[in-house]
Structure 1
Amino acid sequence: MIELRHLRYFIAVAEELSFRRAAERVHIDQTPLSRTIRDLEDQLGVQLFVRTPRKLHLTPAGLRLLKEVRKLFIRVERTYRAVRDTDVRFRAPLRIGVADGIAQPKLSECLVRWREVAPEVPLELTEMRASELAAALQREQLDAGFSFGLPNDDTLSQQPAWSYRAMALLPFGHELALQPTLPITEVLAFPLLSCHADRLPGLLHQIRAIAQRHSTIPTFAGEASTLSGYFTRIAAGLGVGLADAGHVATLCRSDVVAVPLHEDERITTFVLHKHQRFGLPHSLQRFVAHTKTLH
């Protein structure tokens, strides 16, 4: 009999295309994982993977199974939540993902105020990378998420939640560090630190958009994978940077000087959720609307 664990393991192997990485992902040894996939193939009577010494490849049957199993787990998750919602003694929490290492005061304020206005609907937070957030929302493993923005995806809604003014970040002792405010053109005269396209895609897009509005050919000096790494590289003198005032306050460092810009450029945090054919559940509608009260 095919069990849900067979299908969960199959998804892991199909997405990783590596028994080793899939085993690490589902926290079992590689040998029983491989045996489970063989059992699944035997029960279905089809080959799901082409096994080569260097890499796995999905067969056409494997590709079709992956598509159908993803739909199945969405239906299973919806069933779980529908059953929970019928029991007034148990309110399933809203599952919220936080990507990009966001640690802004407005995020904390949003969560605190939600506990005040909707104490009957708890929140369950998970921190993850932007790509993981998109996948979790699509599979309905999360109800909503926060990010600096993801690549366009027709299945997901991305709405501005709040924004902070952009500020120049300079290493301590930089020649511009004593100015009370700075024109952004003066900042862009120096190499600007960038962000990793896979780790911080939304912040990268926003920083580049700001730079390109004020410089025809901005010069970028390397990239950081995290916000803390971004500040550290600036402190080390590897470039200047742009960051939102929220993270400037959160990641306050004596070796990085933050100077307001003359221009009212802003960096936006978005609330995301999956488009629902028949509309959002009431509690999720309330949460999305709540996030927009913190402009």
Structure 2
Amino acid sequence: MLLVLLLGGCVTAVPVQQANTGVGQMTAQRLSEIAGYELPASTPEALPEVSAVVITEGSRANVRSGPGLDFPIVAKANPGDTFTVVGKSQDGEWWQVCCVNGSDEAQGDTAWLASVVVEIDGDGDAVPVVTPLFDENLEATWRVDWQCGSERCDVKHCTATVHATAGESGNQQWLQVAHEAQWADDCFPPDSWVFQVDRYTGRERSGQFIDNFLYNYWLGMEPGPATNVFTLDDGRKVVVWCSGPHELEIAEGDGWDTVYQGETCHDVRTGTLVSLSYTKRWLFTGEYQGQQYERAYFGDYETLEQYLVDANYSLYYVD
């Protein structure tokens, strides 16, 4: 949510020290150092030696990013090309193979071939099934706490709930995830937006907010290294990657700019946003009462903290 505080002409005689930024108190109380936990050791799964040989006659086979015709073509395979099979779709109609586009197994660039264009060499029944990270019933809920540090604010403090639900998209790859923000006591009007989220990678593809940390709800699987453990309301502990400080600047007009500075934490399994905290400051450039200002800060700011309450899919939980 980008909340715009209307502060036209809102200045005092002299600039003041900048508002504090960084992780908010509520978020800090829920974060623990990763060193205090023993994370499950990741043991590589022993895969059977199975190969997929392209059997198209004369034409090349489409290699896709996922197990379905809705997924984009990422490469072409010639008749006789052989790939190592590392997984299969739930319906058995697609094989996940390694490796494509000249990569090797260390890079792990996997893709998918339809079963009708390949012949399997080995025990295909022993190949593990690859399941989507999210299914069509995806739901997640966040709690929001917002405060205003300006005397001009009609509302000083408000809370909200953000609820995300996936709707029917008719697409094998992309989920249409609708987000609804409802503010307590009608402090602000409801807000809503929709992201398309890849059900296999967990990444959203709106593009519009890719560099906007305020909207980084879905970064995709393994967004970064485990740095902390976040405790949810019900006591479950989620291994997260925390990053920042992030900064975003928006020109508001009439000499005013807003600067957001904050930090985020994301679940290391799915890339789901687990916590967000920021301070938003108003800076003024221009002339006021005969005095010239350059990006002056006069003490007007907002703070927001948001954290995950629940999700109906598997996060990286730890005891």
Tell me which protein shows more helix as a share of its residues: 1
- With normalisation by structure 2, the TM-score equals 0.25
Tell me which protein shows more strand as a share of its residues: 2
Which is bigger in relative contact order (C-alpha 8 A, separation at least 6)? Answer: 1
Q: Mark the structure with the bigger radius of gyration.
A: 2
